[in-house]
Amino acid sequence: MKKIVALLSLVVICFGCESSGEFGGEPAISFLESDSGGGNGNTQAGQITAGEWNDLKNWDFWTDLVNSKNSISQQDLWRFNTSKRIAIKVLDVNNTPLNNAKVALYKGDELISQTRTDNFGETNFFVGFFNDNTTGINLTQYAIMVNGIKMDKSILMFGEGVNVYNINQNIDVENKIEIAFMVDATGSMGDELEFLKNDLTDVINKVQTNNQNASILTATVFYRDHGDQYVTRRSDFSASIETTSKFIKAQYASGGGDYEEAVDEALKETITELQWSDNAKTRIAFLLLDAPPHGTQEIYESLKNLFKFSGSKRR
């Protein structure tokens, strides 16, 4: 049976927000498609096809999508608003992108949101992400700070352009790559999980081969749902590919039952329990799943708080 497995590059590790409901970060979605049929473990790496999709690079498409009739209900359910996007790019004096720069959004003296730039020197804020009504936002009341320095330029919404800032600073970034995988291990993922167990190991090995001068650490969090044998099960960051691979191959799909799963618990474990470095060159988390979180008020508040907590992390 053919299924689609959403591979969500969260960047939950990119997200940053504060209690006023602002949001920063760079989510991107890819899709893995498998036409599998047995889950008997007799699989080889490379059987899953993949594509890449980044909503930030296809913003008109995203805007049309979230404003479509079918998507309005999802916005109402999860109460998110991405209409007020502020795109930021941080460069040094030679116009070279600065990775890991700390970027903060202030309203007066109040810290609204904070995040860090990625390897391209880019990051984003979504003003009023948790607010239904953003029509009254006045950007003259806001300020951007980069590595503690207030930027003098007027802030632009994305429709007006990208906010480009040049700073005369060097940022100490360690040649370290940290990759975490969050994987839905409920019964509906049986076929996919057998393929993914081989492909994830293969991907990790290829990353190591292509980045031999970098220190690569990997971690995995498998999750099911409340009432199952376990809710989350993890392997912490390790420089040993063998350790991560052994843990992945020991997992199997079971449990679930209803449609929604404990996605929020996996996110919480990944963001708050894994020991992310402060100055790694790359920090990225992938979410592999075929079902959403439970749509309750408690889960909504949990996800909202996780987004706030992860403000200083990024990929």
Give tens-digit pLDDT for 72-96.
777 777 788 889 999 999 999 999 9
Q: Does any domain span residue 120?
A: no
Distance CA 36, CA 253 (A): 15
Sites in the chain below the pLDDT cut of 50: 1-40, 315
Q: Does any domain span residue 112?
A: no
Q: Does any domain span residue 24?
A: yes
Q: Does any domain span residue 288?
A: yes
Write down the pLDDT at residue 311. Answer: 59
Domain count, the chain: 1
DSSP string across 195-215: HHHHHHHHHHHHHHHHTTTSE
Q: Does any domain span residue 149?
A: no
Q: Does any domain span residue 143?
A: no
| Run of H or E including 192 | helix 190-210
Q: Does any domain span residue 30?
A: yes
CATH of the domain at 302: 3.40.50
Q: Is 73 exposed, middle or buried (0-12, 13-18, 19+ CB in 10 A)?
A: exposed
| Residue 137 near residue 107 (C-beta atoms within 8 A) | no
Q: Does any domain span residue 72?
A: no
Q: How do residues 105-147 score in pLDDT, each as one tens digit?
A: 999 999 988 899 999 999 999 998 887 666 778 999 999 999 9
Write down the pLDDT at residue 4. Answer: 35
For residue 181, which of 110, 141, 236 has the smallest C-alpha distance? Answer: 236
Distance CA 127, CA 263 (A): 25
Domain of 269 in residue numbering reads as 2-52+172-312
Write down the pLDDT at residue 313. Answer: 55
Distance CA 114, CA 146 (A): 10
